Structure 1
Amino acid sequence: MIEFKIEGDFIPMIQLLKATNLVQTGGEAQIVVDDGKVRYNGEVDYRKRLKVRKGDLVEFRGQTIKAI
């Protein structure tokens, strides 16, 4: 599990995927979200501008990111 410390209230999903090095670019992040490859708190979510907040879980490519 990757623990990611959020500075402020939230981080957009696209930025979180880039910040944890699970994707190389913002464009790649948008594609994987569009393709339904990202799970947010256990459910597939297609929102690119989704606000990930402390306590949320994001799953992608066999990795789980916990926002802290």
Structure 2
Amino acid sequence: METIKLREEYIKLGQALKAAGLVESGVDAKYAIEDGLVSVNGETAFQRGKKLVDGDVVVYEGNTIKIIK
């Protein structure tokens, strides 16, 4: 499980995917999210700008990212 430590109050979903190295670019993140391949806290996410906060869990292609403060 990858962890991302927040520098501010939140990180956007597309940025989190890039920061974790699961996608190479914002465009890749956009398509993965639009195609329904990404879930946040067990629910499919369709917004690239979704704000992730402390405790959120993102899953993409079997990889898990936990957001921590």
TM-score by length of 2: 0.96
Q: 2:63 corresponds to which residue?
A: 63
The 5-angstrom pairing of residues 1-68 of structure 1 reads 1-68=1-68
The number of aligned residues is 68
User: For 1:29 and 1:7, how far apart are their aligned partners in 2?
Assistant: 21
* Cα displacement string for residues 18-40 of structure 1 (whole angstroms, at most 9, x for unaligned residues): 01100000000000000000000
**Structure 2 alignment gaps of length 5 or more:** none
- 1:45: how far off? 1.0
Q: The residue matched to 1:28 in structure 2 has which SS?
A: helix
TM-score by length of 1: 0.97
Identity of aligned residues (%): 38
CA RMSD for the aligned pairs?
0.5
Superposed structure 1 runs of 4+ greater than 3 Å apart: none
- 1:3: how far off? 1.1
Q: The residue matched to 1:3 in structure 2 has which SS?
A: strand
**Structure 1 alignment gaps of length 5 or more:** none
